[in-house]
Structure 1
Amino acid sequence: MKSLLYAVVALASSVSALAPSSAVADTTYPDKPIRLVVPFAPGGGADYSARRFAQPLSDALKQSIIIDNVPGAGGSMGANKVAKAAPDGYTLLYTTPGQQMTAPYLIENLPYDAFKDLRAVSQLTAGTNVLVVNKDFPAQSVQELIDYAKKNPGKVNFASSGIGSTSHLAGELFKKMAGIDIVHVPYRGSALAAADVIGGRIEISIDTLSVYQSHIQSGAVRALGVSTLEPNPIIPDVPPIARTLDGFEASPVNYISAPGNTPEPIIRKLSEVIIAVASDPTLRATFASTGSKLAGNTPEEMEALVRSEQKRWKEVIDSAGIGVASTN
């Protein structure tokens, strides 16, 4: 009997040694550098934000974070790299709305399952989009713009950084909620779109505040409204669009995600550290200077936000009849 008991204890010890425990995962992770995939080329807004956040996150985790730029197909190439990576917490994605919130409805043969293959860890930033018009356009407010567009159906053009981009979808949401007929003109990036709005070839655009901040200050364009529910401190006199169109909000959310089957203790630890780092006043001020609000949240909160945004943007995409693209 005693020998049988020893055998059972020995077997149990062997099994427990092989199985990963939450306690071990909590205390040993991370024990090697973490790769943070940015699904866009170096030099853009996402790349800047990822690099700016990576250093304090590295300090908090006491481990190096390597930025890996993997551009292509609106960010889906980088997302696919993370979705197919080992679910061990050492490959993470700097996620923008285009990889999980809108990709399932815009890309026909998405190489990963946006609902299962990526696990939301924590929010990083909530950006501010701003509705601008060329300085010579007659509208001085959001309501005046809506009134003008209703009197001139199909004659007002809005520029975006590309089909399916956050600026495109924000414009389509505005169009839908205002009940107006304005024409979408897609560009290959925000800089080209902004150039034509400034030059008067396009009347309006809704894009990130960082794109238009200097042009608003110089008077090259006029800001009529922001996409957040509260004014942005950089342009405090510009009211939220929601004051005219009740419920309007189009604030791009960036967050960290991991491969879908990443163990819960790793997800939890990353989220807790991100929340702590995001609460630093100096870092918050740095992001605020570019129009973004830094804010971490729990995996459950971020996952719920992803699902609600997927539903919301699907309705906008379907209503606008935006065509489905291919990654091939």
Structure 2
Amino acid sequence: MPRFRSLPAWLAFSLVATASAQEAYPNRPVVVVVPQAPGGANDVIARIVIRTLSAQLGRQVVIENRPGAGGNIGTAYVAKAAPDGYTLLFTVSSAHVINPSLYRRTGFDPLRDFAPVGSVATAGYVLVANPSFRPGSVRELVDAARARPDTIMYASAGNGTLNHLIGEMIQRSAGIRLVHVPYKGASAAVADVVGGQVPVSVQSVPSAQSFIRAGKLKVLAVTNEHRLPSMPDVPTVGETLKGFGATPWYGLFAPANTPQAIMVRLQAALGKALESAEVRETLAQQGCEPFSSSPRQFDALIRADLARWSEIVRTAGATVD
């Protein structure tokens, strides 16, 4: 009969300590890294959700902005963090599933380096124009672009950004050619559309809504697959260009190999946070909708989006060194 030797004291202590730490999780503040600057759409959405997530976990959850390289710097930082549940990533689909096709080196692998906690919300994006721009709908824009190819400019937050690539999708779907004008950030792009220097842009609702409400921008369409609850009378691009739809998402991730007990705790807390009426109402005010999915469903979405956006980036010829 085989004889079993007892574990060394140091190993037994380590295993007990690890198990106890997981059972007590979290026993200190949790840091959620947002890989974009404060005030951007991802930062705004993160703060709406994290406040309630903190209450669910019973511990302080602190947002730490680590912007740069289109989100790569902050994302790579979390990829290399200890998988103990105390350093998490709150990110947007553009940084997570588009950057790997845009950059030669991102510093992270979106599948291998992360464990999805869960999706959080879908983002509202709109095709906007200066009020003096004559076309007032997608059909009129398409007709104008066909009549005068390579003359109508559209502004983006920069080469390879989500609003650039959605603009490329619109051109491909409609068979038109617009002139891309990249800026260093969404605020600069919006400012020039408001000022009339560039007539058209695709923007997130949080970036554009104050100008829309003030009458300084007009909305031609929503780029999402479905109309936004906050703008029920605004048609989608897909209502004119059949089959078109681009719905960016926000999600919460932990480093790969985070213990399952901690993942379950985080998933339960996130699910409860997304059930909060306050969170849902505040997200709606930002043109977003709560989007809760299981980790398996979220993983499947990520894999599908990686393939989809890779093709769009290739077709657009967009690269960032």
Q: CA deviation at 1:198?
A: 1.7
Q: CA deviation at 1:24?
A: 6.0
Residue 158 of structure 1 aligns to a residue whose secondary structure is strand
Cross-structure match for 1:217: 213
Q: Distance in 2 between the 1:47 and 1:296 partners?
A: 19
Q: Distance in 2 between the 1:108 and 1:127 partners?
A: 27
Among candidates 90, 101, 104, match of residue 100 of structure 2: 104
Q: CA deviation at 1:313?
A: 0.8
Amino acid at match of 2:84: D
Q: CA deviation at 1:29?
A: 2.1
Among candidates 5, 8, 15, match of residue 4 of structure 2: 8
Q: Is the 8 A contact 1:85 1:91 kept in 2?
A: yes
Q: Is the 8 A contact 2:40 2:207 kept in 1?
A: no
Amino acid at match of 1:320: A
Residue 281 of structure 2 aligns to a residue whose secondary structure is helix
Matches within 5 A, 1:64-75: 64-75=60-71
Residue 225 of structure 1 aligns to a residue whose secondary structure is strand
Residue 99 of structure 1 aligns to a residue whose secondary structure is helix
Among candidates 292, 309, 313, match of residue 296 of structure 1: 292
Q: CA deviation at 1:68?
A: 1.3
TM-score normalised according to structure 1 size? 0.90
Q: CA deviation at 1:112?
A: 2.0
| Residue 305 in structure 1 maps to residue 272 in structure 2 | no
| Residue 322 in structure 1 maps to residue 318 in structure 2 | yes
Q: 136-145 vs 227-236, which deviates more?
A: 227-236
Counterparts in 2 of 1:11 and 1:195: CA distance versus 1, 3 Å: closer
Cross-structure match for 1:226: 222
Matches within 5 A, 1:173-252: 173-252=169-248
Q: Distance in 2 between the 1:246 and 1:28 partners?
A: 51
Q: Is the 8 A contact 1:242 1:248 kept in 2?
A: yes
Q: Which runs of 5+ in 2 are unaligned?
A: none
Cross-structure match for 1:165: 161
Q: CA deviation at 1:319?
A: 0.2
Q: CA deviation at 1:76?
A: 0.8
Q: Distance in 1 between the 2:143 and 2:19 partners?
A: 61
Residue 267 of structure 1 aligns to a residue whose secondary structure is helix
| Residue 267 in structure 1 maps to residue 263 in structure 2 | yes
Aligned CA RMSD, in angstroms, stands at 2.4
Aligned residues: 321
Cross-structure match for 1:115: 111
How high is the sequence identity, in percent, across the aligned residues? 37
Amino acid at match of 2:158: G
Q: CA deviation at 1:218?
A: 2.8
Cross-structure match for 1:155: 151
Which ranges of 4 or more aligned residues in structure 1 deviate by more than 3 Å? 7-27
Q: CA deviation at 1:180?
A: 0.7
Q: CA deviation at 1:88?
A: 1.2
Q: CA deviation at 1:26?
A: 6.3
Cross-structure match for 2:73: 77
Amino acid at match of 1:74: G
Q: Distance in 2 between the 1:126 and 1:21 partners?
A: 39
Q: CA deviation at 1:16?
A: 7.5
Q: Is the 8 A contact 2:225 2:246 kept in 1?
A: no
